[in-house]
Amino acid sequence: MLLALALLGCPAWSRAEAPVIESMFPLGGQAGTTAKVTFTGKLGPGPIGGWVNFPGGVVKPDGTNGNFQIVIPTNTPPGPYLLRLFNTDGSSRPRIFMVGIFPEITEIEPNDSVTKPQAITNLPVTINGRFDKAGDVDLFAVKLATGQTLVAEAVANMLGSSIDPALTLRDAAGNQVAFAHDGIGLDARLAYPVSKAGTYIVQLAGFAYPPAADVRFVGGKSQFYRLMLTTGAYLRSSFPAGLARGQAGSVQLNGWNLAGTNQVLAHPVAAAAVTGRVDFAEITRAAVPNRLRLALGDGAEVLEIEPNDTREKAQKITPPVTVNGRLDRAGDVDRFAFSARKGERFEFKLLAGTLGGPMDSVLVIEDAAGKELARVDDSAGDTDARLVWAATAETNYFVAVRDLFSKGGPDFVYRLEVGPPAPGFTVAVDTHAFAVQVGKTNELKLTVTPVNGYACTNLQVVVEGLPDEVTAQVPKIAAKGGEVKVSLIASVDAEPSNQPIRVLVVAPEFKPAKVRPAIFTVNAKDTSPELFINQTDALWLTVTSGPALASPVVKKKKKK
Answer yes or no: do 435 and 407 share one domain.
no
Reported as a pLDDT band with limits 50, 70 and 90, residue 379 is low
Give me the chain's average pLDDT, please: 90
Reported as a pLDDT band with limits 50, 70 and 90, residue 9 is very low
Domain end among 262, 297, 332: 297
Average pLDDT over residues 534-553: 73
Alpha-carbon distance 75 to 78, whole Å? 9
pLDDT of residue 197: 98
Tell whether 560 is covered by a domain.
no
The total number of structural domains in the chain stands at 5
Tell whether 430 is covered by a domain.
yes
Q: What is the pLDDT of residues 17-43, one digit of tens each?
A: 899 999 999 999 999 999 999 999 998
Answer yes or no: do 67 and 148 share one domain.
no
Answer yes or no: do 109 and 226 share one domain.
yes
pLDDT of residue 1: 33
Tell whether 558 is covered by a domain.
no
Answer yes or no: do 428 and 340 share one domain.
no
pLDDT of residue 64: 75
Average pLDDT over residues 480-498: 96
pLDDT of residue 117: 97
**Residue 550 pLDDT > 70, yes or no?**
no
Find, among 315, 383, 404, 390, the residue nearest to 347 by Cα. 390
Which pairing describes strands 433-437 and 539-544: parallel, antiparallel, or unpaired? parallel
Query: What is the sign, positive or negative, of the torsion defined by CA atoms of 176, 182, 184, 187?
Result: positive
Tell whether 187 is covered by a domain.
yes
Answer yes or no: do 433 and 528 share one domain.
yes
Residue pair 138/118 in contact by the 8 Å Cβ criterion: yes
pLDDT of residue 531: 76
CATH number (domain holding residue 350): 2.60.120.380
Q: Euclidean distance between the first and final Cα of the chain, in Å?
A: 13
pLDDT of residue 437: 95
Provide the greatest CA pair distance for the chain. 77
Q: What is the pLDDT of residues 60-79, one digit of tens each?
A: 999 877 999 999 999 999 99
pLDDT of residue 560: 38
pLDDT of residue 261: 58
Answer yes or no: do 108 and 226 share one domain.
yes
Tell whether 215 is covered by a domain.
yes
Average pLDDT over residues 199-206: 97
pLDDT of residue 559: 40
Answer yes or no: do 366 and 311 share one domain.
yes
Reported as a pLDDT band with limits 50, 70 and 90, residue 557 is very low
pLDDT of residue 250: 92
Answer yes or no: do 52 and 110 share one domain.
no
Reported as a pLDDT band with limits 50, 70 and 90, residue 556 is very low
Q: What is the pLDDT of residues 99-152, one digit of tens each?
A: 999 999 999 999 999 999 999 999 999 999 999 998 999 999 999 999 999 999
Say if residue 163 is exposed, middle or buried (CB neighbours under 10 Å; 0-12, 13-18, 19+). buried
Answer yes or no: do 121 and 223 share one domain.
yes
Average pLDDT over residues 305-325: 97
Q: Which residues contact 487 (CB under 8 A, 6 or more apart)?
A: 441, 442, 443, 444, 472, 473, 474
Answer yes or no: do 199 and 313 share one domain.
no
Domain housing 183: 104-230
Percentage of the chain lying above the pLDDT 90 cut:
76
Alpha-carbon distance 65 to 58, whole Å? 19
pLDDT of residue 381: 55
Reported as a pLDDT band with limits 50, 70 and 90, residue 551 is very low
pLDDT of residue 511: 87
**Residue 298 pLDDT > 80, yes or no?**
yes
**Dihedrals phi, psi of 355, to nearest 5 degrees:** -85, -5
CATH number (domain holding residue 53): 2.60.40.10
pLDDT of residue 529: 54
Domain end among 402, 419, 436: 419
Reported as a pLDDT band with limits 50, 70 and 90, residue 553 is very low
Domain end among 209, 230, 251: 230
pLDDT of residue 200: 98
Tell whether 559 is covered by a domain.
no
Tell whether 557 is covered by a domain.
no
pLDDT of residue 8: 37
Tell whether 1 is covered by a domain.
no
Answer yes or no: do 395 and 438 share one domain.
no
pLDDT of residue 332: 97
Answer yes or no: do 85 and 171 share one domain.
no
Percentage of the chain lying above the pLDDT 70 cut:
91
